[in-house]
Amino acid sequence: MANLKDLKTRIESVKSTRKITSAMKMVAAAKLRRAQDAAENARGYSERMSRMLGSLAESFAGIEGGPKLFAGTGSDKTHLVVAFTADRGLCGGFNGSIVRETRKIVRELKSEGKAVKVLFVGRKAADVLKRELGDSVVDIITGIAGKKGIAFVEAQNVSLRIREMFEAGEFDVCSIVFNKFQSAMTQTVTRQQLIPFVGEKSEKPANDDKKSVPDSGPKAAYIFEPEEDEILADLLPKNLSVQIFQAMLESSASEHGSRMTAMDSATRNAGDMIDGLTLTYNRTRQAYITKELIEIISGAEAL
């Protein structure tokens, strides 16, 4: 039988675990609210930019060539996959689902005979996949989330890095994998192609009518000022940064949501465990007292 002291320490330790998880839940909830606002506010910008780029693409469709970021390199031999995860764990299935999806994509592409490179944003997926992917890992970018959330500069840096690699001819197609925030309970793993630009495919149905982009109505021929290709040359890198920024924000909101849910159930589990342990403790204590009483009584009777 477990002795009383052991049980006591056990209960104490579960209690302090519960304190920690419930504090983490609180923190995650506070951060979630901010991250969620940021992600939802930024959706308008990235949606409008996609739309603008879409109308540009339409009028550009007939023209030969165009910037590489737009038209691609003409081959699809080498793929770059950018996976967004958190730097820290203890957030349920958040990192795991990205790891699984990345692994799946890499296998798929490799079985099609394509070369794959992987860029990790966030430490967690890298920890798991680093050994498995070996040389395919280009870089691991960590520490993007600052005290006040994610700054646009971080996205610009990542996008610059990707652009430099692209211009050096290190890959042909770039796609990102991230958790898209839906609610604190649900996040969907989303894969989105960034280079070359794909129009409507990346679009998602606008759900909340207040922030959704109004229809642009019948397509009209746009005047461009300056010329199409100049705007495109300006807009494409910007769009890349914006889409990456959006992915970062969605990912961070998902992370906090996921952590909140995970810590909530951890807190609840700890509570259940404490109840169970307390019951055992009380039973043991009672049995102990009974045993002592019997000893005393039988001792007295023997006299």
Partner 1 sequence: MSDSTVAEMVEFELVAPERLVQSKSVGMVVVPCTEGDIGVLPGHAPLIGTVRPGVVDIHENGKVTDRVFVSGGFVEVTPDRCTLLAEEAIAVADITRENADARLAQAQGLLEKAKSEVEKSRATAAVEMAEAMLAALGAGAQQH
- Which residues are catalytically annotated? 91
| Whole-angstrom distance, CA of residue 179 vs CA of residue 249 | 10
Cis peptide leading into 214, omega within 30 of 0? no
Which has the closest alpha carbon to 172: 68, 89, 251? 68
CB of 260 to partner 1, least distance (A): 23
Size of the site for partner 1 (CB under 8 A): 31
φ, ψ at 137 (rounded to 5°): -75, 120
| Whole-angstrom distance, CA of residue 20 vs CA of residue 5 | 23
Which of these ranges, 61-69, 134-142, 185-193, 212-220, lies near partner 1 under the rule CB under 8 A? 212-220
- Compare residues 72 and 149 and give the one whose CB is closer to partner 1: 149
Please name the residues in contact with 1: beta carbons below 8 A apart, sequence gap of 6 or more: 284, 287
**Among positions 22, 224, 229, 284, the unique one binding partner 1 when judged by CB under 8 A:** 224
- In our burial notation (b when 16+ CB lie closer than 10 A, e otherwise), range 193-212 reads ebbbbbeeebeeeeeeeeee
**Among positions 201, 225, 299, 300, the unique one binding partner 1 when judged by CB under 8 A:** 225
Indicate whether 221 belongs to the interface with partner 1 (CB under 8 A).
Answer: yes
Per-position x/- string for 130-169, each x denoting binding to partner 1 as judged by CB under 8 A, each - no binding: ----------------------x-------x---------
Indicate whether 244 belongs to the interface with partner 1 (CB under 8 A).
Answer: no
Indicate whether 217 belongs to the interface with partner 1 (CB under 8 A).
Answer: yes
Please name the residues in contact with 192: beta carbons below 8 A apart, sequence gap of 6 or more: 175, 176, 178, 202, 243, 247
Which of these ranges, 42-50, 182-190, 253-261, 276-284, lies near partner 1 under the rule CB under 8 A? 42-50
Cα 202-207-211 angle, rounded to 5 deg: 95
- Compare residues 9 and 41 and give the one whose CB is closer to partner 1: 41
Chain residues in the site for partner 1 (CB under 8 A):
38, 41-42, 44-45, 48-49, 51-52, 55-56, 152, 160, 211, 214, 216-217, 220-226, 230-231, 234-235, 238, 242, 245
